Amino acid sequence: MQPTEFNANAIKPIECVKEAWELIKPDYWILFAIFLVGAVIGAISLYVLIGAMVSGIMYCYLRRIDGYPVRFEDLWKGLSFFWPSLPVTLLVFVPAVVWGVVLFVTIYLPIITAAIMGDRMNGDTMLGVVGGALLLDIVVGLIMIAFHTLLTFSFPLIVDRGLTGLSPAIVSARAVLKNLKGIGGLIGINFLLIIAGELACGVGVYLVIPIIMATSLVAYRKVFPAHVRPNLNPPPPNAYSGLE
């Protein structure tokens, strides 16, 4: 299978969750630590290293899914993906920043303006401004969700297939559109997991993230199967003993 080839209609959400949990259960806490440290480094670097850390986290989780042992130090391999992951990082996080600006301009700025104007902005006007802002934010939010959904497989494609530039985003979008029903199911399940985490005093949200990440990567493996590498090791000395 070529790096950009993929399977269509390959994702069964419930099966992906079950398989993901069984795979990561023996190494749950080290995988949790890998996610936590990677996320903290990405944050304290002012998100300069966020793409590299996401790549490192994905690398560790993919190794576990592919049957390799989990090693915390593999997180630092993400640094080698800093430049290859930069275009996708910008695609993911720049729109998020733009959305934050839109939220400020359409919701908080009118409220601040109203506070400054005092009685000069009546209640009906304020209600109309806030209502219009909320409607705009809902539309922008739906667009953002759709856009980020298309990028679901981008980082794994960088780590696993070695794609660079905008190729990971393009291939990811094609694969998502060919597996849209399964991706939609995954989004629904992930949402329920987050709600369950919130109900656990909020702290549970962090505890379910490794499951969500592993589930997404199991789904990735259904769409982009692991390459079967040829066995280049020499045969044992007695391999041809029966041919004498």
174-230 pLDDT, tens digit each: 999 999 999 999 999 999 999 988 887 777 888 999 999 999 999 999 999 997 554
Confidence of residue 231 (pLDDT cuts 50, 70, 90): very low
Running DSSP on this structure, what letter comes out for residue 243?
A: G
| Dihedral sign computed on CA atoms, order 10, 168, 29, 27 | positive
* CA gap 244, 234 in Å, rounded: 19
Residue with tokens 């259904």: 222
Nearest to residue 182, comparing CAs of 208, 154, 155, 220? 220
* CA gap 120, 162 in Å, rounded: 59
pLDDT attached to residue 96: 78
What does pLDDT average to over the chain? 86
**DSSP H stretches of helix in the chain:** 13-24, 28-44, 50-65, 82-103, 109-117, 123-150, 154-161, 167-178, 180-199, 204-223
Q: 23-32, 93-102, 142-151, 154-163: lowest mean pLDDT where?
A: 93-102
pLDDT attached to residue 237: 61
pLDDT attached to residue 114: 64
- Residue 17, number of CB atoms within 10 A of its CB: 22
At 37-60, the pLDDT tens digits run 999 999 999 889 999 999 999 999
Query: What does the pLDDT average to over 63-79?
Result: 96
Confidence of residue 121 (pLDDT cuts 50, 70, 90): low
Query: What does the pLDDT average to over 119-130?
Result: 63
Tokens of 112: 């601040």
161 has pLDDT over 80: yes
* CA gap 52, 40 in Å, rounded: 12
pLDDT attached to residue 217: 97
| 8 A C-beta contact, residue 198 and residue 205 | yes
241 has pLDDT over 60: no
Running DSSP on this structure, what letter comes out for residue 163?
A: -
Q: 148-152, 226-230, 232-236: lowest mean pLDDT where?
A: 232-236
Domain boundaries, the chain: 13-224
| 8 A C-beta contact, residue 126 and residue 110 | yes
Query: What does the pLDDT average to over 81-97?
Result: 90
* CA gap 211, 77 in Å, rounded: 22
